[in-house]
Amino acid sequence: MNDVFLTDNGLQRAIPGALNYRKDPDADTQALTNATADADDTVTVVGGKRYLLIAVATGGFYAGLETVATAANVQWVAALGQPGVVITVPLGETTLHYATTANNGKAYLIPLA
């Protein structure tokens, strides 16, 4: 059998079905946009919570806990057309930095149970 699983940055297995978790935004989903490629932007997150980052339009997204204008700070990459990446935000962290690989990028940051 060829099972595929997503894991988070702590190598914990993601919820079943996370590969197919694409959905329209709801009250808990944050739509991330970035008009200019490689411009660092931020979103508020909850420490200890898991999120699914899915790129949905115009290029990929990359994220980190410090400014991603510095390449060494990039910790997660979500490529356009791919399942996304599961992120577990470390306790005490409240800000996720992100940028896009192309102008007018869009992604969803979906909280996972």
| pLDDT by residue, tens only, the chain of 113 residues | 555 556 665 556 665 555 445 555 567 888 898 889 999 999 999 999 989 898 888 888 999 999 988 888 999 999 888 878 888 899 999 999 999 999 998 999 988 86
CA distances for 108 relative to 1, 55, 61, 67, 70, angstroms: 30, 7, 10, 19, 23
* Strand-pair category, 85-88 with 105-111: unpaired
Sheet of strand 105-111: strand arrangement: 30-34, 105-111, 50-57, 85-88
Domains in the chain, CATH or no CATH each = 30-111 (2.60.120)
Q: What DSSP string runs through 92-112?
A: T--EEEEEESSTTEEEEEEE-
Find tokens 């959905």 and name the residue: 23
pTM over 0.85: no
